[in-house]
Amino acid sequence: MDELTLTFDRLPSDTFGQDSNGIRDTQHVLPFLSARMALPYYFPLRPVRSQLWMGAIWLGMALTPCILRTTLAADELRFNRDIRPILSEYCFACHGFDQSQREAGLRLDTESGAKATLESGKNAVVSKSPENSELLHRIFSEDEDEKMPPAEGGKSLSQDQKAKLKLWIEQGAAYEPHWAFSPIERPKIPQVEGSSDTTHPIDLFVRKKLLQVGLAPSPRAPAHTLLRRASLDLIGLPPTVDEVHAFEKDYAQRGIQAYQDAVDRYLERPAFGERWGRWWLDQARYADSNGYSIDAPREIWKYRDWVIESLNANLPFDQFTIEQLAGDLLPDASQSQKIATGFHRNTQINQEGGIDPEQFRIESVFDRVATTGTVFLGLSVGCAQCHNHKFDPISQKEYYEIFAFFNNQDEPTMKVYGKEENLPELREKLKDAEKALQTYIAEKMPAYRTWESKLTDEEKKKMAPNLRKALETEPEKRNQTQIR
**Is residue 56 very low, low, confident or very high in pLDDT (cuts 50, 70, 90)?**
very low
Q: How far is CA 26 from CA 4, 5, 20, 22, 323, in A?
A: 11, 14, 10, 7, 20
Q: Is the peptide bond before 222 cis (omega within 30 degrees of 0)?
A: no
- Domains of the chain, by residue range, sit at 51-177, 201-269, 272-407, 430-483
In this structure, are residues 234 and 267 in contact, taking their beta carbons and an 8 Å threshold?
yes
The DSSP line for 251-278 is: HHHHTHHHHHHHHHHHHTSHHHHHHHHH
Of the pLDDT bands very low, low, confident and very high (cuts 50, 70, 90), residue 231 is very high
Instruction: Please state the pTM of the whole predicted model.
Output: 0.63
pLDDT at 7 over 50: no
Q: Higher pLDDT residue, 475 or 169?
A: 169
Distances (CA, A) of 382 to 214, 283, 347, 387, 402: 46, 15, 15, 10, 11
Band of the pLDDT at 270, cuts 50, 70, 90? very high
394 residue type, one letter: I
Q: What is the pLDDT of residue 474?
A: 86
pLDDT at residue 426 tops 80: yes
pLDDT at residue 107 greater than cutoff 70: yes
Q: What is the pLDDT of residue 371?
A: 96
- Reported as a single tens digit per residue, the pLDDT across 161-181 is 999 999 999 999 999 987 778
If pLDDT is split at 50, 70 and 90, which confidence band does 75 have? low
Tell me the percentage of the chain whose pLDDT exceeds 70. Answer: 83
pLDDT class of 470 with cuts at 50, 70, 90: confident
**How far, in whole angstroms, is CA 191 from its chain's centroid?**
33
Among 133-137, 202-206, 434-438, 465-469, where is mean pLDDT lowest? 465-469
Q: Is the pLDDT of residue 10 over 80?
A: no
- Weakest-pLDDT range from 18-32, 90-104, 190-204, 212-226: 18-32
Contact predicate 137/143, CB 8 Å:
no
Quote the percentage of the chain above a pLDDT of 90. 56
The per-residue pLDDT for 21 is: 37
Confidence tier at 108 by pLDDT (50, 70, 90): very high
- pLDDT tens readout for residues 109-128: 999 999 999 999 999 999 99
Which residue pairs, CB below 8 angstroms and at least 24 apart, start in 118-127? 118/45, 120/45, 120/47, 122/45, 124/45, 125/169, 125/173, 126/169, 126/173, 127/169, 127/172, 127/173, 127/174
Q: Mean of the per-residue pLDDT values for the chain?
A: 83
CB atoms within 10 A of CB 15: 18
Residues 149-153: what's their mean pLDDT?
86
Please report the sign of the dihedral spanned by the C-alpha atoms of residue 172, residue 177, residue 183, residue 185.
Answer: positive
Query: How far apart, in whole angstroms, are the C-alpha atoms of residue 326 and residue 275?
Result: 25
Res. 406: pLDDT tops 50: yes
171's torsion region: left (phi>0), alpha (psi -120 to 50) or beta?
Answer: alpha
